[in-house]
Structure 1
């Protein structure tokens, strides 16, 4: 609503960060940014979403269903993001400042949204399974998701507020998906009770048989 109320015009921080990116763009840094930004869309994002499902599942059937659900979450999120993008119709930064290819309107950033949704799915799966070092792994995943968004600003194809919009959209969408699936996790498998927990032989003797 804030972006629409300004008719898509950039905020002062948007212009400042774009100017800094243009002035500090050695060839090696641009190459690294392009390598990171490409991981936030396409096949890589869907492969990571499927991986999140595989991590979350406990059996083969659960892994298949969770992988399919994760990819569906990402696909529907991207579709909704497109709807918002066309509704807002915010122009991108000037083309002469671009350091990579881009298309479509600016808000919210597609790469930022996709990477954030994917990172959210992975972090959720990691927290569900609680592997050793889960905090470190989750932090690495979050850093990757944030880095993809920042490269869009560094490469000059998005305003910073486009990226923030993508992150907020992804958080909202992941939250809705988690609420929709709450309570649908399969019950944990519990070990059978030991025979002695059922009582002694005398305790199980029918009344009147003594």
Structure 2
């Protein structure tokens, strides 16, 4: 018998809860996007205040630490986390390959959606004179915040399938703190407005909820082929 590649952990979120979470996060993201579009990218007062504070506190060693942490939110690290998530979530070679592929696809699709929205809304970044890091393209939503939240959620999914509940909760908390830290560094380094980071987290959460909803279909196993001579109903 082929092993099930990713049996959901006991006590996992119910579909209704996932639908509600995805809907709420998508609605909040849409509201933030509307505000950005209506204001032509101009920051809100709290965003400007947070940016001004960060620009005035770019001293060492915090700046170097922030740069090191923010670097883990893009490039190969998130994809390595997605691969690890698939390896943890599944059993057997084929199951693991399937889970890894699904996790990488979720991350790649999330990044593609984020990039499309960024180009569509075209929000300018904060003033370049305040940057403490290298950036390109537009500002909303934050690519690092979106990618880190997606990677953290995917790895948490893998851990929840493999580790004991107490250990899994600890790792989920660590992953959440990492994703939170990556997002905060984007504001601290002066390359994003806080709304960009919040929008990235909302977008990632909505996409993760939708991915969890699709998990039973992605890992559904067809029944064994039925012989043409086998009866359709059991006989007594």
Whether the aligned pair in 1 keeps the contact of 2:84 and 2:158 (CA below 8 Å) is: no
Q: Deviations over 1:8-67 (max 9, x none)?
A: 110111111111111112121000000000000011111111111111012222112111
2:129 equivalent to 1:96? yes
1:155 to partner: Cα distance:
0.3
- Normalising to structure 1: TM-score of the pair? 0.85
Equivalent residue of 1:133, what SS?
helix
RMSD: 1.4
Q: Relative contact order, CA 8 A, sep 6+: which one is greater?
A: 2
Q: Deviations over 1:114-159 (max 9, x none)?
A: 0000011011122222435111111000100111011000000000
Q: Distance in 2 between matches of 1:133 and 1:120?
A: 16
2:73 equivalent to 1:36? no
**Pairing partner for 1:70 from 86, 100, 103:** 103
The corresponding residue for 1:140 is 174
Equivalent residue of 2:61, what SS?
helix
- Normalising to structure 2: TM-score of the pair? 0.76
2:134 equivalent to 1:107? no
Q: Distance in 1 between matches of 2:168 and 2:114?
A: 30
Q: Distance in 2 between matches of 1:182 and 1:61?
A: 16
The corresponding residue for 2:186 is 152
**Pairing partner for 1:23 from 46, 56, 71:** 56
2:51 equivalent to 1:51? no
The corresponding residue for 1:200 is none
Equivalent residue of 2:198, what SS?
helix
Which deviates more from structure 2 when the two are superposed, residues 19-28 or residues 140-149?
A: 19-28
